Amino acid sequence: MARVLVSDPVDPVGVEILQQVAHVDVLTNLAPDKLLASIGEYDALMVRSETKVTSAVIEAGDRLKIIGRAGVGVDNIDVPAATRRGIIVVNSPGGNTIAAAEHTLALMMALARHIPQADQSVRANEWTRAKFLGVELYQKTLGILGLGKIGSHVAKVARALGMNVLAYDPYISPERASQWNAQLVDLETLIRNADFITLHLPKTPETTHLINQETLAKMKPSCRIVNCSRGGIVDENALYQALKSKQIAGAALDVFAQEPLKESLLRDLGMEVILTPHLGASTEEAQANVAIDVAEQIRDVLLGLPAKSAVNIPGLNPDILQQLKPYLLLAETLGSLVGQLAGGRVDTLEIRLQGVLAEKDAKPLLVAALKGLLTPALRERVNYVNALIEARERGIHVIETRDSSGQDYTGSLYLEARTSGIPRSISGTLLGEGEARITCVDGLPINVAPSQFMLLTNHQDMPGIIGRVGSLLGSQNVNIGGMQVGRQVVRGEAVMVVSLDDPLPEGILKEIKSMPGIRDAYVLAL
């Protein structure tokens, strides 16, 4: 009989489901060395956020087939290490949607009416009603940053409360936003016009400190902020200064850059702020939902069935997976790059299978490309199983085409992202022992291996550009790993891809864009 280790507290109903197919050991608060010593005895591991599933734990798990996280994030699991070992990692991306949305709404109402502070006042034998004069939500403007599952539920309830709803989400189409009676606007419009702002974003390099000194300065003095998404999206020091100086009216935070919250100036504030200890998913229903969801997936995998919310490679048909496996990472890489070039929201994604790939099943490659396209925005919420659904929910039209005629390479992929602006395209192939190559960008031929950090320029082919860019990078101590230039016509349009060993320092991209002959420049990250 299979054996499952449950190393964090989960709802008992999840354990009962696992016991249908396996012997289950519930051993919480295991020291890292104890986990490392015992993991080799188990076929599956179920965790929440406390257990750190490191690469060492995964290497020691000789029998592991699946790791399940009873929650949304998988930050405590080394997913790449699990993928390399062929271990499926699953989560429960929708199990706490309602709980998180309701906690957001509860904090918004508590903030508007000073409920926690009024409760403390009455308990202290006071009766100072005038001190707790609040504001109504009715006919106020709510700005929602991130219109995914949680944000869209907040939008629906807010509309029912009589609020006007603005939303910012580069990956949602206006038509999709209108289904929730939300008006899609740019970030600055939302910040300047909202009376309340709620955050429903993953923490990424782009969203870290999205709410900062600059954005806070643009808000109404009456604006109130609620964050139940991820700590670090709000610059807590800047928020403290804005609240203390009455630059904005209030804030309610459920998540923090460091948890548990220790030393924080926010504690020194009064009615302007409400602080809760990461309670967004802390309802009986949510805890049961995520436990059931993940336990059922572990049970199914142990029975040889596919998992429905695999974060890495899902249970594809083994024969198809074996044929296409070398191209899945290529498709995901190209999807990520073309999405970054397109600048976020994409209306249409075309994937063209060329050469021998034209004879293969396109769906796994299409799903991989969509996963790459959506990952910068959705992070762990998107996977090979739900990428098509997430794309559909965001109004992305998907086109699949095939071209089996002679190509420069045996098999290659072409991706084109269409937006309201200029369509962007990228092609790639595999060489030799499965080494990925970018072979074309926006119709211009090139041959470059993808790297973690890249600089791409669209420029006029003219003397001096390569030297100026190289000199600038060198002056900033940025090491160049490789450089490739592609063009069709001498002194015509050209593309340059520079592989970097380090991230580009802040402000350098702006300098590059200002150089003579440079049409545009992009920092790409994988």
Active-site residue list:
230, 259, 278
Six token digits for residue 87: 């271990």
- The per-residue DSSP string of 432-449 comes to TTTEEEEEEETTEEEEE-
Q: What element of type H or E holds 119? A: helix 115-123
d(CA 469, CA 55): 38
Cβ–Cβ < 8 Å for 43, 22: yes
Number of neighbouring beta carbons within 10 Å of residue 437 = 18
Residue pointed to by tokens 């499926």: 88
CA distance to 459, 484, 496, 500, 503, per residue, from 466 (Å): 10, 10, 8, 14, 19
The β-bridge relationship of strands 453-460 and 518-525 is antiparallel
The β-bridge relationship of strands 183-184 and 164-168 is parallel
Residue pointed to by tokens 């192939």: 429
Residue pointed to by tokens 């309340």: 196
In sequence order, the 6+-apart residues with CB closer than 8 A to the CB of 371 are 332, 335, 382, 383, 384, 387
Q: Which strands sit side by side in the sheet containing 424-431, from one edge to the other?
A: 397-403, 348-355, 411-418, 424-431, 435-441, 444-448
